[in-house]
Amino acid sequence: MDIRRADMIAETLEQHVFAGKYRDGERLDELKLADQFCVSRTPVREALQVLVANGIAEQFPRRGVFVRLPGPVELMEMFEMMAELEASCGRLAASRMTETGLRQLAEANIRCQEAIDQNDHAKYYAENEKFHQIIYRGSANGYLEQQTLRLQNKLKAYRRMQLRFRGRMAQSMAEHREIVAALEAEDAEKVASVLRNHVAVQGEKFHQLMANFNS
Amino acid sequence: MDIRRADMIAETLEQHVFAGKYRDGERLDELKLADQFCVSRTPVREALQVLVANGIAEQFPRRGVFVRLPGPVELMEMFEMMAELEASCGRLAASRMTETGLRQLAEANIRCQEAIDQNDHAKYYAENEKFHQIIYRGSANGYLEQQTLRLQNKLKAYRRMQLRFRGRMAQSMAEHREIVAALEAEDAEKVASVLRNHVAVQGEKFHQLMANFNS
DNA sequence: ATAAGTGATATTGTATACAAGATGTTTGAC
DNA sequence: GTCAAACATCTTGTATACAATATCACTTAT
Protein backbone atom coordinates (compact mmCIF):
# COMPACT_ATOMS: atom_id res chain seq x y z
CA MET A 1 0.00 0.00 0.00
CA ASP A 2 2.61 2.49 1.10
CA ILE A 3 4.96 3.22 -1.73
CA ARG A 4 6.41 6.15 0.15
CA ARG A 5 9.40 5.15 2.20
CA ALA A 6 8.94 8.28 4.28
CA ASP A 7 5.63 6.90 5.58
CA MET A 8 7.13 3.55 6.43
CA ILE A 9 10.00 5.27 8.22
CA ALA A 10 7.61 7.45 10.20
CA GLU A 11 5.63 4.40 11.28
CA THR A 12 8.72 2.42 12.19
CA LEU A 13 10.20 5.30 14.16
CA GLU A 14 6.92 5.81 15.99
CA GLN A 15 6.84 2.16 16.99
CA HIS A 16 10.46 2.31 18.08
CA VAL A 17 9.78 5.31 20.28
CA PHE A 18 6.71 3.67 21.82
CA ALA A 19 8.72 0.51 22.34
CA GLY A 20 11.21 2.51 24.38
CA LYS A 21 14.14 2.20 21.99
CA TYR A 22 15.06 5.83 22.55
CA ARG A 23 15.69 7.77 25.71
CA ASP A 24 13.87 10.99 26.42
CA GLY A 25 15.61 13.91 24.78
CA GLU A 26 17.67 11.69 22.50
CA ARG A 27 18.46 13.32 19.19
CA LEU A 28 17.18 11.64 16.04
CA ASP A 29 20.21 11.95 13.80
CA GLU A 30 19.13 12.37 10.20
CA LEU A 31 22.30 10.87 8.76
CA LYS A 32 22.31 7.86 11.08
CA LEU A 33 18.65 7.17 10.37
CA ALA A 34 19.19 7.62 6.64
CA ASP A 35 21.99 5.11 6.89
CA GLN A 36 19.90 2.72 8.99
CA PHE A 37 17.00 2.80 6.54
CA CYS A 38 19.32 2.83 3.51
CA VAL A 39 17.83 6.02 2.09
CA SER A 40 18.85 9.63 1.73
CA ARG A 41 18.05 12.31 4.28
CA THR A 42 14.99 13.48 2.36
CA PRO A 43 12.50 10.76 3.31
CA VAL A 44 13.92 10.68 6.84
CA ARG A 45 13.27 14.38 7.25
CA GLU A 46 9.71 14.05 6.01
CA ALA A 47 9.16 11.25 8.52
CA LEU A 48 10.58 13.39 11.32
CA GLN A 49 8.13 16.17 10.47
CA VAL A 50 5.32 13.70 11.03
CA LEU A 51 6.70 12.62 14.40
CA VAL A 52 6.92 16.25 15.46
CA ALA A 53 3.37 16.93 14.29
CA ASN A 54 2.19 13.97 16.36
CA GLY A 55 3.94 15.25 19.46
CA ILE A 56 6.25 12.25 19.62
CA ALA A 57 9.30 14.39 19.05
CA GLU A 58 10.21 18.04 19.41
CA GLN A 59 12.05 20.18 16.94
CA PHE A 60 14.49 22.97 17.68
CA PRO A 61 15.32 24.92 14.53
CA ARG A 62 18.85 24.31 13.27
CA ARG A 63 19.45 22.03 16.23
CA GLY A 64 17.56 18.89 15.35
CA VAL A 65 14.65 16.68 16.30
CA PHE A 66 14.58 15.16 19.77
CA VAL A 67 12.49 12.34 21.20
CA ARG A 68 9.93 13.65 23.63
CA LEU A 69 8.67 10.96 26.00
CA PRO A 70 5.90 11.95 28.39
CA GLY A 71 7.04 12.47 31.97
CA PRO A 72 5.14 11.14 35.00
CA VAL A 73 2.88 14.19 35.19
CA GLU A 74 1.94 14.13 31.53
CA LEU A 75 1.35 10.39 31.70
CA MET A 76 -1.08 10.78 34.55
CA GLU A 77 -2.82 13.50 32.59
CA MET A 78 -3.04 11.21 29.58
CA PHE A 79 -4.53 8.43 31.67
CA GLU A 80 -7.04 10.86 33.09
CA MET A 81 -8.06 12.04 29.65
CA MET A 82 -8.31 8.41 28.54
CA ALA A 83 -10.73 7.75 31.39
CA GLU A 84 -12.81 10.74 30.31
CA LEU A 85 -12.86 9.68 26.68
CA GLU A 86 -13.89 6.15 27.56
CA ALA A 87 -16.61 7.50 29.79
CA SER A 88 -17.85 9.66 26.91
CA CYS A 89 -17.84 6.70 24.52
CA GLY A 90 -19.76 4.67 27.09
CA ARG A 91 -22.28 7.44 27.70
CA LEU A 92 -23.08 7.68 24.02
CA ALA A 93 -22.96 3.94 23.49
CA ALA A 94 -25.57 3.40 26.20
CA SER A 95 -28.31 4.59 23.90
CA ARG A 96 -26.70 3.77 20.56
CA MET A 97 -25.12 0.36 20.92
CA THR A 98 -26.60 -2.17 18.52
CA GLU A 99 -27.59 -5.73 19.31
CA THR A 100 -24.57 -6.86 17.34
CA GLY A 101 -22.36 -4.63 19.45
CA LEU A 102 -23.72 -6.04 22.68
CA ARG A 103 -23.20 -9.57 21.39
CA GLN A 104 -19.61 -8.76 20.46
CA LEU A 105 -19.05 -7.39 23.95
CA ALA A 106 -20.35 -10.60 25.48
CA GLU A 107 -18.08 -12.64 23.23
CA ALA A 108 -15.06 -10.52 24.08
CA ASN A 109 -15.83 -10.96 27.75
CA ILE A 110 -15.96 -14.72 27.35
CA ARG A 111 -12.52 -14.66 25.81
CA CYS A 112 -11.30 -12.42 28.63
CA GLN A 113 -12.56 -14.95 31.14
CA GLU A 114 -10.79 -17.73 29.23
CA ALA A 115 -7.57 -15.77 29.46
CA ILE A 116 -7.98 -15.42 33.22
CA ASP A 117 -8.68 -19.15 33.60
CA GLN A 118 -5.54 -19.88 31.61
CA ASN A 119 -3.68 -17.13 33.49
CA ASP A 120 -2.67 -15.82 30.07
CA HIS A 121 -1.75 -12.18 30.56
CA ALA A 122 -1.01 -11.51 26.91
CA LYS A 123 -4.35 -12.90 25.80
CA TYR A 124 -6.22 -10.96 28.47
CA TYR A 125 -4.46 -7.81 27.41
CA ALA A 126 -5.43 -8.31 23.76
CA GLU A 127 -9.05 -9.25 24.44
CA ASN A 128 -9.47 -6.44 26.95
CA GLU A 129 -8.30 -4.01 24.31
CA LYS A 130 -10.91 -5.36 21.89
CA PHE A 131 -13.62 -5.08 24.54
CA HIS A 132 -12.94 -1.40 24.93
CA GLN A 133 -12.70 -0.81 21.20
CA ILE A 134 -16.18 -2.27 20.74
CA ILE A 135 -17.46 0.40 23.11
CA TYR A 136 -15.67 3.14 21.18
CA ARG A 137 -17.39 1.85 18.07
CA GLY A 138 -20.64 1.70 19.98
CA SER A 139 -20.52 5.48 20.50
CA ALA A 140 -21.54 5.71 16.84
CA ASN A 141 -19.20 8.67 16.55
CA GLY A 142 -16.39 7.91 14.16
CA TYR A 143 -14.38 10.98 15.10
CA LEU A 144 -14.54 10.26 18.82
CA GLU A 145 -13.73 6.62 18.11
CA GLN A 146 -10.64 7.53 16.16
CA GLN A 147 -9.30 9.98 18.73
CA THR A 148 -9.91 7.49 21.52
CA LEU A 149 -8.09 4.78 19.60
CA ARG A 150 -5.15 7.12 19.13
CA LEU A 151 -4.79 7.75 22.82
CA GLN A 152 -5.35 4.09 23.65
CA ASN A 153 -2.47 3.29 21.33
CA LYS A 154 -0.23 5.91 22.88
CA LEU A 155 -0.85 4.52 26.35
CA LYS A 156 -0.49 0.91 25.28
CA ALA A 157 3.08 0.56 26.48
CA TYR A 158 2.30 1.93 29.93
CA ARG A 159 -1.01 0.12 30.42
CA ARG A 160 0.71 -3.19 30.01
CA MET A 161 2.47 -2.91 33.37
CA GLN A 162 -0.59 -2.55 35.52
CA LEU A 163 -2.00 -6.01 34.79
CA ARG A 164 0.86 -7.41 36.85
CA PHE A 165 -0.93 -6.36 40.00
CA ARG A 166 -2.25 -9.31 41.95
CA GLY A 167 -5.92 -9.91 41.32
CA ARG A 168 -6.16 -7.04 38.86
CA MET A 169 -7.41 -9.21 36.01
CA ALA A 170 -10.24 -10.67 38.08
CA GLN A 171 -11.32 -7.25 39.31
CA SER A 172 -11.10 -5.83 35.82
CA MET A 173 -13.30 -8.69 34.63
CA ALA A 174 -15.93 -7.94 37.24
CA GLU A 175 -15.96 -4.32 36.11
CA HIS A 176 -16.44 -5.44 32.51
CA ARG A 177 -19.56 -7.29 33.51
CA GLU A 178 -20.84 -4.22 35.32
CA ILE A 179 -20.23 -2.14 32.21
CA VAL A 180 -22.12 -4.54 30.00
CA ALA A 181 -25.03 -4.65 32.42
CA ALA A 182 -25.25 -0.85 32.46
CA LEU A 183 -25.07 -0.74 28.67
CA GLU A 184 -27.88 -3.27 28.39
CA ALA A 185 -29.92 -1.19 30.82
CA GLU A 186 -29.08 1.89 28.70
CA ASP A 187 -28.07 3.67 31.88
CA ALA A 188 -25.77 6.27 30.36
CA GLU A 189 -24.52 7.83 33.58
CA LYS A 190 -23.83 4.46 35.16
CA VAL A 191 -21.86 3.31 32.10
CA ALA A 192 -19.86 6.52 32.14
CA SER A 193 -18.97 6.40 35.80
CA VAL A 194 -18.07 2.71 35.86
CA LEU A 195 -15.94 3.04 32.74
CA ARG A 196 -14.26 6.16 34.07
CA ASN A 197 -13.22 4.43 37.26
CA HIS A 198 -12.30 1.26 35.41
CA VAL A 199 -9.81 3.18 33.28
CA ALA A 200 -8.73 5.67 35.92
CA VAL A 201 -7.55 2.86 38.16
CA GLN A 202 -4.95 2.07 35.49
CA GLY A 203 -3.48 5.50 35.96
CA GLU A 204 -3.42 5.06 39.72
CA LYS A 205 -1.83 1.64 39.48
CA PHE A 206 0.73 3.12 37.17
CA HIS A 207 1.36 5.87 39.68
CA GLN A 208 1.94 3.25 42.35
CA LEU A 209 4.43 1.46 40.13
CA MET A 210 6.31 4.69 39.55
CA ALA A 211 6.41 5.39 43.27
CA ASN A 212 7.67 1.89 44.06
CA PHE A 213 10.22 2.19 41.32
CA ASN A 214 11.63 5.40 42.75
CA SER A 215 11.90 4.11 46.32
CA MET B 1 11.35 32.20 16.41
CA ASP B 2 10.72 29.94 13.46
CA ILE B 3 13.63 29.98 11.11
CA ARG B 4 12.22 27.04 9.22
CA ARG B 5 10.18 28.15 6.27
CA ALA B 6 8.54 24.74 6.18
CA ASP B 7 6.91 25.46 9.54
CA MET B 8 5.67 28.86 8.44
CA ILE B 9 4.27 27.34 5.27
CA ALA B 10 2.50 24.61 7.22
CA GLU B 11 0.92 27.18 9.53
CA THR B 12 -0.12 29.43 6.67
CA LEU B 13 -1.61 26.55 4.71
CA GLU B 14 -3.51 25.36 7.78
CA GLN B 15 -4.99 28.81 8.28
CA HIS B 16 -5.92 29.00 4.61
CA VAL B 17 -7.69 25.66 4.76
CA PHE B 18 -9.58 26.65 7.91
CA ALA B 19 -10.45 29.97 6.31
CA GLY B 20 -12.07 28.07 3.46
CA LYS B 21 -9.64 29.10 0.75
CA TYR B 22 -9.66 25.61 -0.67
CA ARG B 23 -12.50 23.34 -1.73
CA ASP B 24 -12.80 19.85 -0.39
CA GLY B 25 -10.71 17.43 -2.41
CA GLU B 26 -8.66 20.20 -4.02
CA ARG B 27 -5.13 19.15 -4.80
CA LEU B 28 -2.30 21.04 -3.15
CA ASP B 29 0.08 21.46 -6.02
CA GLU B 30 3.66 21.38 -4.81
CA LEU B 31 5.03 23.46 -7.65
CA LYS B 32 2.32 26.12 -7.40
CA LEU B 33 2.77 26.38 -3.65
CA ALA B 34 6.54 26.50 -4.02
CA ASP B 35 6.08 29.33 -6.47
CA GLN B 36 3.59 31.11 -4.20
CA PHE B 37 5.90 30.95 -1.22
CA CYS B 38 9.00 31.61 -3.33
CA VAL B 39 10.78 28.47 -2.19
CA SER B 40 11.66 25.13 -3.67
CA ARG B 41 9.48 22.05 -3.38
CA THR B 42 11.42 20.71 -0.38
CA PRO B 43 9.98 22.93 2.37
CA VAL B 44 6.55 22.75 0.77
CA ARG B 45 6.62 18.96 0.89
CA GLU B 46 7.63 18.97 4.54
CA ALA B 47 4.75 21.31 5.29
CA LEU B 48 2.34 19.04 3.44
CA GLN B 49 3.45 16.08 5.56
CA VAL B 50 2.45 18.06 8.63
CA LEU B 51 -0.98 18.85 7.20
CA VAL B 52 -1.52 15.18 6.44
CA ALA B 53 -0.41 14.18 9.94
CA ASN B 54 -2.92 16.65 11.37
CA GLY B 55 -5.73 15.22 9.28
CA ILE B 56 -6.22 18.46 7.37
CA ALA B 57 -5.23 16.85 4.11
CA GLU B 58 -5.04 13.36 2.73
CA GLN B 59 -2.22 11.82 0.77
CA PHE B 60 -2.48 9.32 -2.05
CA PRO B 61 0.94 7.93 -2.91
CA ARG B 62 2.25 9.14 -6.26
CA ARG B 63 -0.97 11.11 -6.72
CA GLY B 64 -0.57 14.05 -4.41
CA VAL B 65 -1.96 15.71 -1.30
CA PHE B 66 -5.60 16.74 -1.25
CA VAL B 67 -7.50 19.03 1.10
CA ARG B 68 -9.83 17.08 3.31
CA LEU B 69 -12.63 19.21 4.74
CA PRO B 70 -14.98 17.54 7.20
CA GLY B 71 -18.40 16.70 5.78
CA PRO B 72 -21.66 17.32 7.67
CA VAL B 73 -21.52 13.98 9.47
CA GLU B 74 -17.92 14.39 10.64
CA LEU B 75 -18.67 17.95 11.69
CA MET B 76 -21.54 16.83 13.89
CA GLU B 77 -19.27 14.19 15.35
CA MET B 78 -16.62 16.80 16.07
CA PHE B 79 -19.17 19.03 17.78
CA GLU B 80 -20.34 16.10 19.87
CA MET B 81 -16.81 15.27 20.92
CA MET B 82 -16.23 18.93 21.72
CA ALA B 83 -19.24 18.85 24.04
CA GLU B 84 -17.85 15.77 25.76
CA LEU B 85 -14.40 17.29 26.15
CA GLU B 86 -15.83 20.49 27.59
CA ALA B 87 -17.94 18.47 29.99
CA SER B 88 -14.83 16.58 31.09
CA CYS B 89 -12.90 19.79 31.62
CA GLY B 90 -15.79 21.18 33.63
CA ARG B 91 -16.13 18.02 35.71
CA LEU B 92 -12.47 18.16 36.70
CA ALA B 93 -12.47 21.92 37.11
CA ALA B 94 -15.33 21.71 39.60
CA SER B 95 -13.00 20.47 42.31
CA ARG B 96 -9.75 21.96 41.02
CA MET B 97 -10.54 25.48 39.90
CA THR B 98 -8.59 28.08 41.84
CA GLU B 99 -9.92 31.32 43.25
CA THR B 100 -8.01 33.12 40.53
CA GLY B 101 -9.69 30.99 37.92
CA LEU B 102 -13.15 31.72 39.25
CA ARG B 103 -12.36 35.42 39.31
CA GLN B 104 -11.18 35.25 35.70
CA LEU B 105 -14.41 33.53 34.74
CA ALA B 106 -16.44 36.27 36.37
CA GLU B 107 -14.42 38.91 34.54
CA ALA B 108 -14.82 37.13 31.21
CA ASN B 109 -18.56 36.96 31.80
CA ILE B 110 -18.68 40.68 32.47
CA ARG B 111 -17.01 41.32 29.15
CA CYS B 112 -19.43 38.90 27.48
CA GLN B 113 -22.33 40.87 28.91
CA GLU B 114 -20.77 44.10 27.65
CA ALA B 115 -20.58 42.60 24.18
CA ILE B 116 -24.27 41.70 24.33
CA ASP B 117 -25.21 45.19 25.50
CA GLN B 118 -23.22 46.62 22.60
CA ASN B 119 -24.63 43.94 20.28
CA ASP B 120 -21.01 43.28 19.31
CA HIS B 121 -20.92 39.76 17.89
CA ALA B 122 -17.19 39.71 17.28
CA LYS B 123 -16.44 40.77 20.83
CA TYR B 124 -18.87 38.23 22.27
CA TYR B 125 -17.29 35.55 20.17
CA ALA B 126 -13.79 36.39 21.41
CA GLU B 127 -14.75 36.70 25.08
CA ASN B 128 -16.85 33.54 24.97
CA GLU B 129 -13.82 31.70 23.63
CA LYS B 130 -11.74 32.97 26.54
CA PHE B 131 -14.43 31.97 29.03
CA HIS B 132 -14.25 28.38 27.85
CA GLN B 133 -10.47 28.35 27.76
CA ILE B 134 -10.39 29.35 31.42
CA ILE B 135 -12.40 26.23 32.20
CA TYR B 136 -10.00 24.06 30.16
CA ARG B 137 -7.19 25.51 32.22
CA GLY B 138 -9.22 24.91 35.36
CA SER B 139 -9.20 21.17 34.69
CA ALA B 140 -5.59 21.29 35.88
CA ASN B 141 -4.79 18.75 33.17
CA GLY B 142 -2.41 20.22 30.63
CA TYR B 143 -2.82 17.38 28.19
CA LEU B 144 -6.61 17.55 28.22
CA GLU B 145 -6.39 21.33 27.96
CA GLN B 146 -4.20 21.13 24.89
CA GLN B 147 -6.35 18.58 23.09
CA THR B 148 -9.48 20.57 23.86
CA LEU B 149 -7.90 23.74 22.55
CA ARG B 150 -6.97 21.93 19.35
CA LEU B 151 -10.52 20.86 18.68
CA GLN B 152 -11.88 24.25 19.67
CA ASN B 153 -9.59 25.77 17.09
CA LYS B 154 -10.65 23.32 14.41
CA LEU B 155 -14.31 24.13 15.01
CA LYS B 156 -13.75 27.87 15.21
CA ALA B 157 -14.84 28.55 11.65
CA TYR B 158 -18.09 26.61 12.03
CA ARG B 159 -18.95 27.84 15.51
CA ARG B 160 -18.98 31.38 14.28
CA MET B 161 -22.17 30.92 12.32
CA GLN B 162 -24.38 29.82 15.14
CA LEU B 163 -24.24 33.11 17.04
CA ARG B 164 -26.36 34.62 14.30
CA PHE B 165 -29.41 32.90 15.73
CA ARG B 166 -31.81 35.33 17.30
CA GLY B 167 -31.43 35.49 21.06
CA ARG B 168 -28.60 32.99 21.08
CA MET B 169 -26.13 35.34 22.75
CA ALA B 170 -28.48 36.08 25.63
CA GLN B 171 -29.27 32.42 26.16
CA SER B 172 -25.60 31.52 25.98
CA MET B 173 -24.90 34.16 28.58
CA ALA B 174 -27.49 32.71 30.94
CA GLU B 175 -25.86 29.30 30.56
CA HIS B 176 -22.48 30.83 31.38
CA ARG B 177 -23.85 32.07 34.67
CA GLU B 178 -25.27 28.63 35.42
CA ILE B 179 -21.87 27.09 34.72
CA VAL B 180 -20.09 29.49 37.03
CA ALA B 181 -22.61 28.85 39.80
CA ALA B 182 -22.13 25.09 39.51
CA LEU B 183 -18.35 25.51 39.53
CA GLU B 184 -18.55 27.65 42.66
CA ALA B 185 -20.73 24.98 44.25
CA GLU B 186 -18.16 22.37 43.15
CA ASP B 187 -21.02 20.33 41.71
CA ALA B 188 -19.05 18.30 39.17
CA GLU B 189 -21.97 16.52 37.52
CA LYS B 190 -23.97 19.71 37.21
CA VAL B 191 -21.04 21.52 35.60
CA ALA B 192 -20.53 18.67 33.19
CA SER B 193 -24.14 18.40 32.10
CA VAL B 194 -24.69 22.13 31.70
CA LEU B 195 -21.47 22.55 29.75
CA ARG B 196 -22.27 19.55 27.58
CA ASN B 197 -25.63 20.96 26.58
CA HIS B 198 -24.21 24.45 26.21
CA VAL B 199 -21.74 23.21 23.63
CA ALA B 200 -23.94 20.55 22.06
CA VAL B 201 -26.50 23.17 21.14
CA GLN B 202 -23.89 24.69 18.85
CA GLY B 203 -23.80 21.47 16.90
CA GLU B 204 -27.57 21.40 16.67
CA LYS B 205 -27.77 25.01 15.56
CA PHE B 206 -25.16 24.24 12.98
CA HIS B 207 -27.22 21.28 11.84
CA GLN B 208 -30.21 23.56 11.45
CA LEU B 209 -28.17 25.95 9.35
CA MET B 210 -27.06 23.13 7.11
CA ALA B 211 -30.64 21.92 6.70
CA ASN B 212 -31.88 25.41 5.86
CA PHE B 213 -29.04 25.86 3.45
CA ASN B 214 -29.95 22.71 1.57
CA SER B 215 -33.65 23.51 1.25
C1' DA C 1 -18.08 5.67 -32.60
C1' DT C 2 -16.02 3.49 -28.90
C1' DA C 3 -12.45 1.27 -26.63
C1' DA C 4 -7.92 -0.16 -25.96
C1' DG C 5 -3.11 0.75 -26.53
C1' DT C 6 0.88 3.78 -27.02
C1' DG C 7 3.54 7.70 -26.42
C1' DA C 8 4.23 12.48 -24.47
C1' DT C 9 3.80 15.18 -20.44
C1' DA C 10 3.43 16.26 -15.81
C1' DT C 11 3.94 15.28 -11.01
C1' DT C 12 5.54 12.83 -7.24
C1' DG C 13 9.39 10.54 -4.61
C1' DT C 14 14.26 10.31 -3.71
C1' DA C 15 19.14 11.53 -4.07
C1' DT C 16 22.61 14.82 -4.18
C1' DA C 17 24.58 19.44 -3.91
C1' DC C 18 24.99 23.67 -1.70
C1' DA C 19 24.24 27.36 2.03
C1' DA C 20 24.08 28.76 6.70
C1' DG C 21 24.10 28.29 11.38
C1' DA C 22 25.52 25.39 15.60
C1' DT C 23 29.04 22.77 18.00
C1' DG C 24 33.54 21.80 19.54
C1' DT C 25 38.43 22.53 19.62
C1' DT C 26 42.57 24.84 19.55
C1' DT C 27 45.16 28.81 20.28
C1' DG C 28 46.35 32.86 22.58
C1' DA C 29 46.03 36.41 26.09
C1' DC C 30 45.70 37.54 30.88
C1' DG D 1 45.33 27.75 34.80
C1' DT D 2 41.25 29.92 33.01
C1' DC D 3 38.65 32.39 29.81
C1' DA D 4 37.75 34.05 25.32
C1' DA D 5 38.05 34.28 20.45
C1' DA D 6 38.93 32.35 15.99
C1' DC D 7 38.79 28.41 13.26
C1' DA D 8 37.45 23.74 11.75
C1' DT D 9 33.80 20.52 11.60
C1' DC D 10 29.33 18.89 11.78
C1' DT D 11 24.37 19.27 11.18
C1' DT D 12 20.43 21.28 9.60
C1' DG D 13 17.69 23.70 5.96
C1' DT D 14 16.97 24.50 1.12
C1' DA D 15 17.70 24.01 -3.84
C1' DT D 16 18.37 21.29 -7.72
C1' DA D 17 18.82 16.99 -10.30
C1' DC D 18 17.26 12.58 -11.38
C1' DA D 19 14.02 8.40 -11.37
C1' DA D 20 9.63 6.44 -11.59
C1' DT D 21 4.87 6.51 -12.05
C1' DA D 22 0.40 8.52 -13.03
C1' DT D 23 -2.24 11.36 -16.30
C1' DC D 24 -3.74 12.65 -20.70
C1' DA D 25 -3.97 13.00 -25.53
C1' DC D 26 -3.67 10.75 -29.75
C1' DT D 27 -3.70 6.83 -32.62
C1' DT D 28 -5.53 2.58 -34.20
C1' DA D 29 -8.35 -1.38 -34.43
C1' DT D 30 -12.90 -3.39 -33.97
Q: Is A19 helix (H, G, I), strand (E, B) or coil?
A: coil
Chain A contact residues (CB < 8 Å to B): 1-4, 6-7, 42, 45-46, 49-50, 52-54, 59, 61-62, 73-74, 77-78, 80-81, 84-85, 87-88, 91-92, 141-144, 147
Q: Which residues of A touch B193 (CB under 8 A)?
A: none
* Pair (A119, A30) in one structural domain: no
Residue nearest to nucleotide D21 (CA to C1'): B62
Distance from CA(B57) to C1'(D22), angstroms, rounded = 20
* Pair (A48, A150) in one structural domain: no
Long-range pairs, B125-131, Cβ under 8 A, ≥24 = B125/B160, B125/B163, B128/B172, B128/B176, B129/B156, B131/B105, B131/B176
Residue A158: the pLDDT is 86
Q: Which residues of B touch A141 (CB under 8 A)?
A: 77, 80-81
Nearest residue of chain B to residue A193 (CA atoms): B189
* Pair (A108, A159) in one structural domain: yes
* Pair (B115, B145) in one structural domain: yes
Asked whether residue A39, judged by its CB, lies under 7 Å from any atom of the DNA or RNA strand C, the reply is yes
Q: Which of B18, B48, B67 is the last residue of a domain?
A: B67
* Pair (A40, A130) in one structural domain: no
pLDDT digits (tens, 9 = 90+) for B106-147: 999 999 999 999 988 889 999 999 999 999 999 999 999 999
* Pair (A45, A85) in one structural domain: no
Residue B208: the pLDDT is 75
Q: Which residues of A touch B88 (CB under 8 A)?
A: 81, 84-85, 87-88
Closest CA to A140 of A97, A201, A109, A196: A97
Write the CA distances from A58 to A7, A174, B37, B141, B193, integer angstroms: 18, 41, 25, 20, 37
Residue B212: the pLDDT is 66
Q: Which of B48, B67, B86 is the last residue of a domain?
A: B67
**Are B28 and B16 a contacting pair, CB within 8 Å?**
no
pLDDT at A212 over 70: no
Who among A53, A84, A92 is closest to B50 (CB)? A53
Closest CA to A97 of A179, A172, A174, A171: A179
Residue B211: the pLDDT is 66
pLDDT digits (tens, 9 = 90+) for A58-104: 999 999 999 999 988 899 999 999 999 999 999 999 999 999 999 99
CATH number of the domain bearing residue B202: 1.20.120.530
- Which residues sit close to strand D, CB under 7 Å? A 3, 27-31, 41-42, 45, 59, 61-65; B 3-6, 38-43, 46, 62-63
Looking at every residue in chain B, the average pLDDT score rounds to 92
Provide the pLDDT confidence category of residue A199 given band limits of 50, 70 and 90.
confident
* Pair (A87, A192) in one structural domain: yes
Residue B214: the pLDDT is 54
* Residue-number span of the structural domain to which A46 is assigned: 5-67
pLDDT at A214 over 70: no
B58 forms beta bridges with B66
Q: Which of A14, A42, A67 is the last residue of a domain?
A: A67
* Pair (A115, A139) in one structural domain: yes
pLDDT at A213 over 70: no
Chain B interface disruption, residue of A60, A88, A193, most B CBs within 10 A: A88
Question: From first to last of its 215 residues, what are the pLDDT tens digits of chain B?
Answer: 677 999 999 999 999 999 999 999 999 999 999 999 999 999 999 999 999 999 999 999 999 999 999 998 999 999 999 999 999 999 999 999 999 999 999 999 999 999 999 988 889 999 999 999 999 999 999 999 999 999 999 999 888 777 667 778 888 899 999 999 999 999 999 999 999 999 887 777 777 777 665 55
* Pair (A33, A90) in one structural domain: no
Residue A165: the pLDDT is 73
Provide the pLDDT confidence category of residue A41 given band limits of 50, 70 and 90.
very high
* Pair (A165, A83) in one structural domain: yes
Distance in angstroms (rounded) separating the CA atoms of residues A154 and A19:
10
pLDDT at A2 over 90: no
Residue A211: the pLDDT is 66
* Pair (A123, A141) in one structural domain: yes
* Pair (B54, B92) in one structural domain: no
pLDDT digits (tens, 9 = 90+) for A9-28: 999 999 999 999 999 999 99
Count of domains observed in chain A: 2
Host H or E run for residue A2: none
